[in-house]
Structure 1
Amino acid sequence: MLAPRWRVVVALFAVTSCIAAAVSTFGVFLPVLSDTFGWSRGAVSVALSISLVVGGVAAFVIGRVADRRGPRGVLAATVALGAVGFALSARIDALWHFYLSYGLLVGVGMSSIYVLSAATVARWFATRRGMALAIVLSGFNLGWLTAGPLAAWLIGRFGWRAAYVALGALIAVVGVPASLCVSYPPSAEARPVTAGTGARWPAGDRRLWYFVGSWGFLGFVYMMVTVHSVAYARDRGVPLEQASLALTAFGVGAIVGRLVAGAAADHFGVRTTMRVCLVIQAAALVAFVAGLPAWAVPVTLVVFGLGGAGADNTIVKAVPDAFGLAALATIMSVVGLGWRSGAGLGPALAGFVYDLTGSYAPSFAVGLVAIVAGWRFFRLGSATRMR
């Protein structure tokens, strides 16, 4: 029988898997909605940008509530709201409808996942924290692995409206019940703070804001590439159902990247792990900028997933290592707002640049600069002590 802390890991894995499965399909729906309504790719991408920014603001409130009352109730409520948002997206007939259903409701619905996953796992695990986080967050990448082909099949067989309803039902049936199994450890079982600054809110600690900046730059690259990967493949003459396998390729690399980076961060430290992950990610991005034949797109996305998800996992481990466990959900919500701001800007920028130029190369080139900036900020944020 699983120990209580591993049961929590399994529950969080289930929540993240179903949420990610739904959210990761955005790139599959993007060209379909653009073709159906005549909306530009940039305009459609704004819905995701709104969702990410709204979720970041909501996460700050959610983090404070969870620090005081625990994660169970607020996690279940937000996941349920996300299910409603996807179901209502099936009813849209105007762009502003999509901005409300997906931008607002799905944004709040997905706002708690990263914040509460990191805060909950950190409280249960003093050792092997990197690996436990990797297992939970690999649920995101399992969603990327499976959801693209599923969404393409649903759209082809039943239409995009029915596909959105199905995704909402998946979240309601799997995500909400699993959320009710998530809790912080009882005080008697709580793991001690082994690193970080302890109980003080670190607003005056510059490392916090370096982490915010680092995750913002890395989120910019991560979401820009993944959201537009299906459209990138379609532009090379690949049919939708085959192009959706781009997300599967990314998911394969990302799952491996998270697990390897989680173990590596526990053994070699977060800086070494982050450096290697960003080099791998940058190499894939250089290939995208240079231009790829259709057959090379999934291979390059596997490589991008290795580096991108590994870097993502490493920064989630580095934050509790730096600041300790007290007020961690609130701290993660602030750092997460940085990620969401960058992640919201990246897809929208790439969409509008594509509308103007017919190419993703200029945006992906900007992504290389963002990777360098992300490393610089992470290096400063992961310093042993800074005021």
Structure 2
Amino acid sequence: MAFRPLVHRCRIQQNPGVRRIHPAWTVAAVSFIALIGAAGFRATPSVLLQPLHDEFGWSLGTISAAVSVNLLLYGLTAPFAAALMDRFGIRRVAMAALLLVSAGSGLTLWMSQSWQLMLCWGVLVGLGTGSLALGFVATITGRWFVKHRGLVTGVLTAGGATGNLIFLPVLSRIAESDGWRTAALTVSVAALLVVPLIYWRLRDFPADLGVTALGSPEGSPAEEAPKQSGGAARTALRGLRDAAKTRAFWLLAGGFAICGATTNGLVGTHFIPAAHDHGMPQTTAAGLLALVGVFDIVGTIASGWLTDRVDSRILLGGYYFLRGLSLLVLPSILAATAHPSMLVFILFYGLDWVATVPPTVTLCREYFGAAGPIVFGWVFASHQFGAAIAATTAGLVRDQLGAYTMAWYGAGALAILASVLSLMLFIGTKVKTMSPELGLVVKA
């Protein structure tokens, strides 16, 4: 009789060693790969602007308009995708998103009219990549992580930069040697290959594997999505309605709109043609943009680490201010070669590229509670709205004035304004309870 309890105690002591790695890390790794796959097509516009212009004779303004549709839908899809993940599960939504990216990229092989570019490149890919945007990141980290949430947000956000790093030089060389259609096909296949991995390893909640979120107090239940009354679209719109009544939402959304205008919309879309205007070969410019992605990974992960330790409002104010200064300097250093001053800009700007994401996600959760992922989806929609406006505006500036100079100066001034908006979040700390069905508890 005395032997059995001893055996039982031994089993209990050995049992914790059976699973040394929390499954949250596996979910994060698979999510990271999915974000890389989705990033592939987002890297394509800057590489294909010139080839499409040369083959079809479409103006940069026309092509940039298709990019704007992509960026706009990429943002507007995010809050609805977050609500769909609450309703149908992360895995199903992620698989459907990658299939849309693959289809949109593949169908461009047969396009001959600009409206077809809008449909494939703008609508299909915009919807697909939007479903795997930063709302996806906020949902993953919100459900699976308590400890290291800021750091993991930074790592997953860096997945987009990693995708750019992987795809930009490759797609540029493929487009130059084999044509833009081969480059588009490469992206289509890459996105498709991630789908089986998502089906195999991604899970919706820690409870699906019989565990709690990483860092949850022992015995506490895993966090679940707020109970929805109505469809996903109604839930997303209700989240917007209630968050829009707060000052904090508009300050975050305004700053993030400028963030999108000064990254994806302007630099991400127009840096290569702008450098080409100064005599720089397209492959060299693409390499520099990829180098931004290298430093972006470092900067975003470091930002996630800082977000766990420093007030996010201070971080945002500093990031936007430094970005504004770098953009104001850019017109004076663009040249035909990658000289030292340009490399310093790439280093400095790259570290700041999406470092704004971890503190913004954290602030959405701090101000809006369990509804943070859906509210952040709307904040991210403003990011892409700003990006869409900047992509089109910069193309028109180039067409009308023959140079991008005024676009760089305007973006620099806007980034400094975003710094001011972020610091204004320090004003006002009243706590309100709104929409209990969404779990929306607002500090604004």
* TM-score, reference length from structure 2: 0.80
The equivalent of 2:346 in structure 1 is 301
* Residues 30, 382 of structure 1: alpha-carbon distance in 2 compared, 3 angstrom cutoff: farther
Aligned position for 1:189:
212
1:63 lines up with 2:105 in the alignment: no
- Residue 181 and residue 378 in structure 1: after superposition, are their counterparts in 2 closer, same or farther (change >3 A)? farther
Question: 170, 182, 187: which is aligned to 1:167?
Answer: 187
Structure 1 position 110, deviation (Å): 0.6
Q: What is the identity percentage for the equivalent residue pairs of Structure 1 and Structure 2? A: 25
User: How many angstroms apart in 2 are the aligned matches of 1:186 and 1:243?
Assistant: 43
Q: Specify which of 100, 104, 114 is matched with residue 123 of structure 2.
A: 104
Aligned with 2:418 (options 368, 374, 378): 374
Question: 1:231-380 maps to which residues of 2 (within 5 A)?
Answer: 231-293=273-335, 294-296=337-339, 297-324=342-369, 326-380=370-424
Q: 1:49·1:345 contact (CA, 8 Å) conserved in 2?
A: yes
* 1:228 and 2:251 are equivalent in the alignment: no
User: Which of structures 1 and 2 has the bigger CA Rg?
Assistant: 2
Letter of the 2:413 counterpart: V
- After alignment, is 22-31 or 174-183 more displaced? 174-183
Unmatched runs of 5 consecutive residues or more in structure 1: none
Unmatched runs of 5 consecutive residues or more in structure 2: 1-19, 228-237, 431-442
Q: What do the CA deviations read for 1:179-224 (whole angstroms, capped 9, x no partner)?
A: 663333335614589xxxx999542322122211111111111121
Whether 1:211 and 2:252 are equivalent positions in the alignment is yes
1:119–1:329 CA contact under 8 A, matched in 2:
yes
Instruction: Render the CA deviation track for 1:284-315: whole Å, top value 9, x for unaligned.
Output: 21221334233244442232121122123322
Q: Which range moved further: 353-362 or 59-68? A: 59-68
CA distance 1:179–1:12, change in 2 (3 Å): farther
TM-score, with structure 1 as normaliser: 0.92
Return closer, same or farther for 1:137/1:300 CA change in 2, 3 Å cut-off.
same
Q: CA RMSD in A?
A: 2.3
Deviation at 1:316, TM superposition (A): 2.5
Q: CA deviation at 1:242?
A: 1.9
- State the one-letter code of the partner of 2:292: F
Residue correspondences, number: 382
Aligned to 1:11: 30
Question: What is the alpha-carbon distance in structure 2 between the residues aligned to residue 376 and residue 273 of structure 1?
Answer: 12
1:92 to 87, 90, 111: 111
Instruction: Choose the corresponding residue for 2:174, options 127, 130, 154.
Output: 154
Highest RCO, 1 vs 2 (Cα 8 Å, sep ≥ 6): 1
